[in-house]
Every structure is written in C-alpha cells, then in structure tokens.
Structure 1
C-alpha cells in the first residue's frame, strides 16, 4: 500500500497538465472556506490537528495528488488554526486497513467510506456521529444521501459526492448487427445469440471477488425486484425467486455466448479487457471514469450512456461517498474535524470535486451542467439508483455469495443451489454477529 502524505513542496504546474482545470477550482475554495470554520476551531492559540484518509475519487493519480494538495492548502489558509494532513490511500485492502487502524487506535480522524462500511464500523463503535458537521445547512442536501448514512437516528457520514452507474453501449456493434440497444433483460436474451455468431458478447460481467457485488450481481437482483437483506436486515433475502431469476439471467447469457468466456473470474477493468477490444457490446454498470476509458479505446462517437437496464423494475447502483468521523478522533480536535467535513461538503467544494472526478453532487445547490449529455444520463440514473443495503455484515455476505455465483457461472451448480449454499453461510454470519 502506498501512502502519500502532503508535507513538503507543492507540485509544479508542469507536472500536472491533466489537472490544470481542477487546480483553480480547488484554490477558489479558500474564499468560501472561512465561512465554514467554526468559532471553536479558530479560537485559542494551539493548533488543532486533523488527518484525513482519502481514496482515489479522482482516478488520474497525478491529478488526484495535485487536487488534494491544493485543497489542503486552501483549507489551511481559510482555517489557520487547523493543521490538516490529507493522506492518499489505495482501494486495495481498504477494509482491513481501516479495521486495523480502528483496532489500534491510531490512524485518521476522518476517512472516506461507503454507507455499508459506515454500518459495519458503527456497529463495532469505530465511528462517531457527525450531525453537528451539517447542522447549519442540512436542508441543502438531497435527503437520500443523508438517509444512506443515518443509523439509529444519528448521522454517521457527511456525503461529499454521489457515485452512480448506468448502462454504456458500443453503438457501432449494435448498428453493424442491425440491433436496437438493449433496454430490458428480454432484449439481452434476444441480442445475445445474434452477436455471439460474430464472436461478441452482448454484456460484460465481473465475477472476480475484487469487484463489489454492488456493481455486478446486486443491480440485477434489484432489477428482478429482489433485495439482499430483509427489511429489518436480520435475515438475507437474496435466495428468493428474484435472486434466482437474476442469477439465471447470467447463466442463460453465458450459455448463449452473451458473456465473456472468463466472466466468472473477470475483474472490473476496462483497459485491456474484452470490452475495450470491441469483443463486448455493453457494460450494464458504468461510471464516468470507465466511460472515458471505453471512448478512448473505441472512439468517442461509438460509445453512449443510456438508462439502467430493466428486469421487473429499472435499477442501478449509486451511493454517496461519506466523510466519517472515527473513534480515534480526540475531543480537543472534534470541532476541527467538523469544520473539515463542513468545508469539504460545501457547495463550492462539491462543485470543484465533481469537476475533477466526474461525480455528482449530494447538495441541491451544487448542480451539474445540464448541457452535458453524460451528466444528464447520470442524473436520470440517480432516480433509480440503490445506495446499497446497509448491514454490519454486508461485506461478509458478499464474501460468501461471490464464490457461489462464480460456481454457477462455471456450470458447477444451478442458480438455486448456488443461492441456497450462500444463504446458509450468510445466515451463520448473521447469527454470530447477533451474539
């Protein structure tokens, strides 16, 4: 794991050509940052110290480093009594890294996490409530972004951006085959054998455990009208008829040649993958960063974003990125941590970060350009986006379900057998966690 701590000389402008348009945006935050600083954080002589662990929201490493350097400088200028250290981490082994830090009592005051991680860490008393960080402008946030981080009536994460994924198509493939772009599961089944004759899979699927099920199997489960957990989260529900229908769709497509040969073990990457080589016609859950990679490989004019697929219902995955306050944070730095979270979740900060990362805002006053067709498509996708199903054992349940889905895709077991096996293991996890 490579950690970059921003201490020392700032990067030169020539080193960050790709980040140039974001630098000015980040620096302008100093003008608005002073309004977000709390009286407690700016009073007294001793500086408060706050450490933030940030993950690759901005995919380009050079652009990311430059952006967060400038953000750190702008924040400290606006809040001279707070010493901020932004430490860049990698997604690899993020859960073990954060869990180890919480257990050791040493690590970040503030960390970027997802709603299901918030549920997990809150359950082991690793997080502290952050309602105070948004108390002044709570009404400016989209309610769903706050709801995703609210547990037992308290907020455990300040949403600073929204991720959303939707369907991306290689339009040339469908045009050459004289096929309409698939909108439904039935459309997929119809197109699969036609494209298979050309050596092309209609849809990719990342069956590798490195891909979260939120971006692979769960959207299909939700499209079938199913859920991962019961409403009270005390039991799993993916072994339902809806779950079986979702997994059977993948099995059927695999048999029809509609998925890549290695779908059971493929990872989520675009570059170097079949979809970038024109051997796959669409990706059902696509981020803006992945869209950019697809266009670089296939041609700007050959790739388009559309609405999420529809089974029984239309659904996709989209969740807010949360700034969580860890139990490591000391009381004398508490207000400084609130100030940081308020600053980074402000409308001005969100506009700058969204421009740099290609994400969507969590506030109604940090709107996206309506003229950009990609952002229009993503905004539309948010209407059917599921932020994931929060449970303290959500990640462990994924860990039991993923290999059973792989087994079904390999043809080792049926959809029903795979789900029943996974459900039995998952229920054991739930029972142990309840003790």
Structure 2
C-alpha cells in the first residue's frame, strides 16, 4: 500500500510541478530574450504587464481548479457523469471569461499600465509596456485555456500528457522568442506574439486527449447548471487567492519602487519577479499535484492515505523551498546575469535577491496547508490562509515596511507577510486538531 501511494504521488506531483514551471517559463523566457536582446528598459516594461497578466491567470484558475476539486471527489465516488458535467461547466466558464478579458486587456492596455505605476516611469518604458500588454492579451484565450486543459487532463488520469502538452508550448515559445527578437528584430512585440503562439501549440496537444477520447471526460453537449457553476467558483476561490500573490506583489512593488527608486527599481524587481515566479511554480505545483490525490482520498473516505499524502507533501515543500533559497543566495549574481548584464542592475539585484528569497520557505508550507484544506472542502480555512498571504498581508507589508524602516527593507516584505501567514495557518491547524477535525473525513454530503 505504501509503495502504491509513493507511485501515485510521483505520478501526479512531478508532472504538475513541471507543468506549472513550464507555464511560468513563458514570462521568464520573454524576460531573458527581451533583457538580452532589447535592454534593461524593455525588461522592466515586461514586468509592468505582469500584475494584469498574472491576475487574469489567477482569476481564470478559479474554474479549472474548482472544477477539478469536484471532479476528483465525484470520481472517488464513482460518479463519472457528474464529473463530466463539472468538467464542461468549468470549461465553459473559462471560455467566457477569457474572451471578456481579451477585450479589456487590449482596449485598456495603456490605462492598465498607468494604474500599475506607469505615471512615475520614463515614456520609453511606458510605451514598451503598453505594446507588450496589447499583443500578449490578444492571445488571452489560448493563454487561459492551456492551463485549464492541463488541469483536466491531469485529473482524467494522464498527468504525463498534461506535462508534455505544456512542454510543447514552452519549446515553441523559446524558439519563436529567439526568432522574433533576434533575427526578425521585432523587439518586445515579438516576445509577446511568441508567447501567444506557444500557448496555441500547447492547447492543440492537450486537446488531443479529448478529441481521441483517451479518458473518461468528454467535450459534449451539457445542460447549464448554475448551482454547479456557483459551487465551482466557490471551490476555486482559494486557488485564486493563492495565485493572486504574484500580481498583488508585482502591483504593489511597481507602485512603491516607481515612486522611490524609478526605472532601476522596476528593472531590478522584474528579475526578482521572474525568479519568484519559478519558485512559486515549483512549490505550488506540489500542492496542485496533490490535489487529485487528496480529493480522491477524501471522496473514498481513506483517512490513512489522506494523512500520508499531507505529511509527505509538507516535507517535500520544506526541502525544495530551502534548497531554492540557498541556490539563489549563493548564485545571486549568476541568476541576475541570465537576464541582463548592465552593472547597475546586477549590483542592485545581487543585494536584493538573497533577502527576497527568504520568503520561499514559509511560502512553500503555506501553499501546502491551503491546498490541503481546499481539496477537502474546507474552503473557509483555505480562504483565510490564501487571502492573508496572497492579498491582504502582502499589500500591507510592502507599503508599510518602507514607510517605517526606509527603502532598504523593501525586499524583506514578502518574507514578513509569509511568516505572519504561517503563524495564522498554524493557529488554524491547532484549532482543527483540538476539535479533532485535522486530517479527518467529514461525514457530510460531498459535491
């Protein structure tokens, strides 16, 4: 039984981690090619679009992750038709929202950049930011549909294809980034178009799972069930709150840095943001990879497996987050040079990265605890943890710390926010244990 759990854990966690890493690599690869091929100003311009782009991805993640929770539980109960109904509902919601966000992102590109702190930046950086956001959002539908399909392919028992589908898009993006930025000299616009075309490739690969009917889920006619859609949104809120940590952090940092440091501060945070996204993808990938296993164990009322999966994932993230923090501390200069070699940017980044990376350790633990509660219908607990780390505390600390202690402590803000959240999560878990509900199966009706 123990070996079986280990195999299942490896089968789901590694593809989930890899898939999320690949997804976040789209922006990272854009940053590398733009930083090396266009310059530090363009690198900062890419970062100015990050709050809105990642916010759209966070908001849209509500539907696949909320649907996946219901699918996992219903699959554990043997209700395949109910699981497919949840799949089609989530897919429909993702489609509608992605089309609406496409229009908003393209029509109001300049207004979005100005709200993100553009009024304090040079006109060159603002113009580049608007261009990048406009063309990137033109591909909003495949950008949101690709991770959505990946989640459902993974929940349909084929995590390997979910991973390789994302890889196909990433490889295409890397090649097209090189082609458009260097030989074609399309600059920042080329990087945005390359990302969009890469997402289309990913969607095509992932759709093959449903076209050739390789699993239990089917793309077919279904009846709209607004009650089910409401439940999907409710289940997906903790995931939205968790993923909002990237856009909220970027948005707050952009405003603060633009006002106290200027273009160099934005360019420095741009590099840190790309590295943060990679660490966040790895740690969140563990939690997302565990989601089908937690959900199925919960649906089957297998308390022993549920406890085992939680403890294992907890220590996996502790080890991974500590390792990443050490790597970014020891090799800070090398990490910055990947993106740009301008002396001022490298010097600024080397000072900031070791401090900034401290937040990864409490962040990894918070993601596991929130993801666990989210997967077993404990949405209140999951929401408290996710909202605290992703939105409320992060915003407060980023604005408050420099006001109290000066601009030199600005890079410590994420660590302080994650540490406070960890304390809150610990209190919640102790309270649950006291009530004999921690890692327990509720004898109530599941979704």
TM over 0.5: no
Larger radius of gyration: 1
Higher strand share: 1
Q: What is the TM-score of this pair, normalised by structure 1? A: 0.25
Higher helix share: 2
